[in-house]
Amino acid sequence: MTMIFRTTAACAALLALTACVVPEGTGTSTAAPSATTTVAGTSGTVQRFNRVVARTERVAEQVCRDRVRSGTNCDFRIVYVSDPRQPANAYQSEDASGRPVLTFTAALVEDTRNDDELAFVLGHEAAHHIRGHLTQTRQTATIGALAGGTLAVLLGGGQSAVDAGVNLGGTVGARAYSKDHELEADALGARIAHNAGYDPVKGAAFFQRIPDPGDRFLGSHPPNAQRIETVRRTAASF
């Protein structure tokens, strides 16, 4: 029982390693779509954010309702973090009720050069929820952590060895499908951006300006070139 408790706690921490899918809560609930998110402010960054959200949020919610099982919450809450100290980041999470939350920092919005890029990023994060990636990552992280901890026990390791096995197994489990998840979110995000009236190929140009993770073992993201090609291939099918 002690090992299982430690494993669960470790998995919660390890999920933060999956980059743009970050847990905030658990559970599911159904809610009617809310009014489009708007943020107060007159800066160009805020205006761009509001403009893109106004066109894209309802499209993402409709795609969600069309694709997921009944009972899944498709009422996105879109959060804009204005704190200039926060690094450029966008990620999908859930609140305590299971409502999907898409968070964008001001630095990330500023880093996008046009509405197409921001719409693609928003569609990508919404796609993580629609494809159920957060739940899948939780499951594989838990399985990996349990396997790592159990193996350490079977090998006669003490608590420190068990903790190390839990951490390593959880990391491997959490990242087992993370690259596939990113490519799936890129493809569906391209469709969401397209349906909202944006050009996803122009949107994917965002990848040309961010560090390329390459194809590292246990890396959380695929190479940028592969992601751009995924978007181009998807857009060609529209």
Tell me the β-bridge partners of 100. 94
Q: How far apart are CA 59 and CA 32, in angstroms?
A: 14
For residue 42, what pLDDT band results from cuts at 50, 70 and 90? low
Phi, psi at residue 91, to the nearest 5°? -155, 160
| pLDDT tens digits along 119-130 | 999 999 999 999
Q: What is the pTM of this model?
A: 0.68
For residue 142, what pLDDT band results from cuts at 50, 70 and 90? low
- Mean pLDDT (the chain, rounded): 75
Place of tokens 């980059």: 19
Instruction: Specify the DSSP class assigned to residue 18.
Output: G
Name which of 72, 74, 78 is nearest 90 in CA terms: 78
- Cα–chain-centroid distance for residue 75? 16
